[in-house]
Amino acid sequence: MTTSHITHLECTRTGETAKAGRLHNLSAAGAPLFARYDLDALRGVLTKDSFAGRPANFWRYSELLPVRDRANISSLGETFTPLIPLERLAGGNASIKDEGRLPTGSFKARGLALSIAMAKELGVTRVAIPTNGNAGAATAAYASRAGIESFVFCPDDTPDINVRETALQGGKVWRCNGLIDQCGRIVHAGEKEAGWFNIATLREPYRVEGKKTMGIELAEQLGWQVPDVIFYPTGGGTGLIGMWKAFAELEAVGLIGSKRPRMIAVQASGCAPIVRAWNKGAQCAERWDDASTAAAGIRVPAAIGDFLILRALRESDGFAIAVEEEEIFDARAHTARDEGLLLCPEGAATVAGYSKALESGQVGPDDRAILFNCGNGLKYPMPDDVPRLDLDAPIDWAMFD
């Protein structure tokens, strides 16, 4: 058994409570549910020394996670992800948190590991998910590990490697002629028609609990401090929402103080519903029509957690920023050349957003900034501009000058 201190679930819109230990999707009000814990009981008990000797992975935070029986955890070798300083950008005060080091090569491993563990704990035998790529791969891997059947629906132009790895790892995957929110409608309809459990973004309470471990882990890596700003590639926004939740819980148990990072949501100009809502001062975001960006992970026209993302931005004195396609791929190229880091397009968007915010003065060069790279850059297409050398012809050595 674990030492989970979960007590109940809570509607993020109304505050209405629901029982933990039962299957739930959205609340009665149609909003995401949050897991709540007995934080008072943990204050002074869960200390910095508590983690000594525990494995260096996100399962070490078991008191603040919902899994009650460790037998339901199907691990694939999760580990801490490194903080890598960007030495040539803004004086080295920005660091990449490289989530591409996790199983299945993306930060989706965190949320889906928790979601699948809870599905197993609650007796689920089949799950379904809409995806732009990496979430489907993580679902298939963890579900197969747990002996759970998985059904995955993705847009037609989902990166081929994501589709193939999902299928190879046991997921039943379909390409669909629509965007991710349209795939989500299939998953929702199938709850009744196909009898699967819907684990789409924020439609069950536990995926966000996995994503919040990014915030706990980050604080621990920084000596139980928080950075000044966090740039996060924002589609469904589960990680941004989860980290904001994590910081509140960490303060409540006494592991960090009251300081919070400014949360920065980074989106692509071709799909920026959160940025548009932020600029309007709105509480929710309208659907973005004709969404288009090569950074597939942030091509989410409508996020069910839009109000939670915007709330976190307001409460943290943060903001939302959009970057152009050219800026994303320029950032990816110069980060690879100048820093030796191969980022996914979504991670490169955070570098572009950070550079843009520095230029505008929205953040300062002395601010300690964390930029999230959410996937392994090797999973994405790269430019093919390598010249050929004819070994049967004389070599022009001047070309190497």
Instruction: For 155-206, give the DSSP string.
Output: ETTS-HHHHHHHHHTT-EEEEESS-HHHHHHHHHHHHHHT-PEE--TTSSSS
Assigned domain for 294 exists = yes
CA–CA separation, 292 and 153 (whole Å): 18
Domain-embedded: residue 190: no
Residue 196 lies in a domain: no
Supply the angle between the helices 160-168 and 134-146 in degrees, to the nearest 10.
10
Structure tokens at 83: 């903080």
- Give yes or no for a contact between 275 and 321, defined as CB atoms under 8 angstroms apart: yes
Burial class (CB in 10 A: 0-12, 13-18, 19+), 77: exposed
Q: Is 94 helix (H, G, I), strand (E, B) or coil?
A: strand
Range of the domain at 308: 83-103+207-379
- Considering the domain boundaries, does residue 229 fall inside one? yes
- CB contact at 8 A, 54 and 47: no
pTM score, whole prediction? 0.95
Q: Does residue 97 sit within a domain?
A: yes
Does 347 map to a domain? yes
Work out the widest C-alpha separation in the chain, in whole angstroms. Answer: 77
Note down pLDDT in tens along the chain; length 401 residues: 458 999 999 999 999 999 999 999 999 999 999 999 999 999 999 999 999 999 999 999 999 999 999 999 999 999 999 999 999 886 779 999 999 999 999 999 999 999 999 999 999 999 999 999 999 999 999 999 999 999 999 999 998 999 999 999 999 999 999 999 999 999 999 999 999 999 999 999 999 999 999 999 999 999 999 999 999 999 999 999 999 999 999 999 999 999 999 999 999 999 999 999 999 999 999 999 999 999 999 999 999 999 999 999 999 999 999 999 999 999 999 999 999 999 999 999 999 999 999 999 999 999 999 999 999 999 998 888 888 999 999 999 999 98
Residue closest to 214 by CA, chosen among 87, 109, 318: 109
Q: Mind giving me the DSSP string for 52-69?
A: TTS-SSGGGGGGGS----
pLDDT for res 265: 98
Residue 339 C-beta-side C-alpha neighbours within 13 Å: 23
Question: What pLDDT was estimated at residue 385?
Answer: 84
Q: Is residue 66 part of a domain?
A: no
Work out the angle at residue 57's Cα, subtended by the Cα atoms of residues 56 and 59, and round it to the nearest 5 degrees: 125
pLDDT score recorded for residue 90: 67
Q: Could you tell me if 267 and 321 are in contact, meaning their C-beta atoms sit under 8 angstroms apart? A: yes
The answer to whether the CB of 98 falls within 8 A of the CB of 91 is no
Amino acid at 156: D
Q: If you search the block for the tokens 């300690």, which residue do you land on?
A: 368
171 and 164 in contact (C-beta within 8 Å)?
no
Q: What CATH number should be reported for the domain holding residue 281?
A: 3.40.50.1100
Residue 247 lies in a domain: yes
- Which residue type does 179 have? L
Domain total of the chain? 1
